[in-house]
Structures are given as structure tokens and as C-alpha cells.
Amino acid sequence: MTQQTFEAELETWRAGRISALTAPDGWLSVCGLIWIEPGEWRFGSAQDNDIVIEKLPPAAGVLRLAEDGTASVSLIAEGTIGGEPKRDGMLFDDHDPANVPARVAFGSVNFHLIDREGKKALRVRDSESAARLAFTGIDHFPADPAFRIEADWLAVDPPRAFEVDSVVGISSTVLVRHKAVFTFEGAEYTLWPTHGSATSPMFVLRDPTAGKETYGASRFLFGIFEEDKPGKIVLDFNRAINPPCAFTPAATCPLPPAENRLPFPVLAGEKKPRE
């Protein structure tokens, strides 16, 4: 890959990254995380509701969460459920394999149900959030081809179990079936993809720049597969990104396992968000 091609592809990728982040339903719109237990919950903007969400009608509706984890909602005020102007509907969480989470929306604000290791919460978004309206961009290290690294993509059999912590204090066990082994400045390193998918594995990592030039908790990096290079994966640290929790306290980001804490400074990718 030529330097010109490398820089052009990186700029195109960065533009897509900013577009997704600043979209009306992107991470900059996330403004609330409300944990709920089984029971009946009245919600709206009035302070006497069980769940108070700004910009909603004073009495917006009632959410019901059963002991088995199923949830439903009934609207009092005019709104939409899953994009439809109806009064009643089921709410599926973001880990339901058969259903897409239905968003309950009133004007610029909406929420949907999420599940974290059996604990349920409402993720609230506002397309007119202060964070989205005030966003001015992301700073990066200079583009550096030396940080675009081709690694060996090795199967792990049996899968290795990782206990992954999160910024909200909820841990989960993740089975990892591959690892990326690479060489940088003469030394060999391994990164473990604890998240993402089979076609787009995600590495949660940290390096000595954390808390200084880069976000303190972690950065995320998605591996790239190239069709003509079986058994390989590209780790382009120029595409290392801030996690959602760098932009909103209402995210539930995973933290890096100890094995993904690199000893060398990764002077590539996104720097920590601007104040």
C-alpha cells in the first residue's frame, strides 16, 4: 500500500467514524442510563414519576418489567413505539437474538431496553443533547504506516475464558476463540479480541498514553481481514478509537483484560476527547 493510498483510506474511514458518532442516534446522543428492577414504573418529566426523563411529557407512560425479564410499555401521552404511533407494545432488550429493541420516542428523546448480565436498564438518547450540539471534532496522532501492522490470526482451542470488567462495575465471562500475534520494533505481542464479531473482532486495549494523550480507561480497535491474506489480520492502530464511555457517562463499556495492556506507547489513532 502506498503512502497516498494509506492516507486516503484513513481519511475516508475517519469521516465515516465522525458521521456515525454524530448521527442523531449516535453515541453523542446518549444522555441517560436508568437501571430498573421487576415491577411497574411510571415515567415522564414530572418529578413524581418513578422514572424522570427530561423533555418527555409530564406523564408519558408506564413500563412493566416481569420477573422473567419480559417488558412492555403503555403510553399515556402521544409518542411512538418502534417508530409506530401506538399506545402499547413489548420491549425487547439489546441481547434478544430474535427481536430488535423497540425505541419509545417523544420528540427528540427516545429510550430502549438493554441487558447487562441479567440486569436491565433504559438507555436514553436525545438527538438534541448538549454533547452532540457542542461536538467540535476529535484530535488524532499523525497518520503513521508503522502502526498499520499485519498480525497472525491464530485459533485458540479450547477457547480461552476472560472475565471482563466494565465501567459500570458489571463483569462478564467471554470465550475467545482467536488471538492476534504481531511483532513491533523487534518484540512479539498478543492481543485478544474479547468483543466484536467473527468478521469484525474488537480489541479493548490500553497503553502508556492512557490518561495522558489518550482516554484513560481504554481504546477500541477493530481488526481488518483482507481476502488475499488468509490467517492474517490487520491491526491498524491509526484506527484506534475512544470508547463510548469517553463521550457519555451513560455507556457500559468493557475494560481491557490485563493481556491487552501494551507496554509500548501507541502513538496512533484517536486522542482523548476535547474538554
6-16 pLDDT per residue, tens: 989 999 999 99
For residue 7 the three cell numbers come to: 492516507
pTM of the model: 0.92
Expressed in angstroms, the distance from the first to the final Cα of the chain is: 36
Residue 188 counted as domain residue: yes
143 and 123 in a common domain: no
Expressed in percent and rounded to 5, the helix, strand and coil fractions of the chain are 15, 40, 45
| CATH number for 58 | 2.60.200.20
pLDDT at 225: 97
Residue 174 counted as domain residue: yes
Q: What is the pLDDT of residues 147-174, one digit of tens each?
A: 999 999 999 999 999 999 999 999 999 9
Residue 122 near residue 113, CB atoms below 8 Å: yes
Domain-terminating residue out of 106, 134, 162: 134
108 and 212 in a common domain: no
165 and 149 in a common domain: yes
Residue 156 counted as domain residue: yes
Average pLDDT, whole number, for the chain?
96
For the segment 214-219, the average pLDDT, to the nearest whole number, is: 97
pLDDT at 47 over 80: yes
Residue 79 counted as domain residue: yes
CA nearest neighbour of 96 among 120, 78, 73, 74: 120
* pLDDT band (50, 70, 90) for residue 1: confident
Residue 122 near residue 112, CB atoms below 8 Å: yes
Q: Which distant-in-sequence residues (6+ apart) come within 8 Å of 224 by Cβ?
A: 233, 234, 235, 236
The vertex-93 CA angle with 255 and 219, nearest 5°, equals: 20
Residue 34 counted as domain residue: yes
| 154: containing domain | 138-260
Domain count, the chain: 2
219 and 110 in a common domain: no
Q: What is the pLDDT of residues 94-131, one digit of tens each?
A: 988 788 899 999 999 999 999 999 999 999 999 999 99
For the segment 24-31, the average pLDDT, to the nearest whole number, is: 96
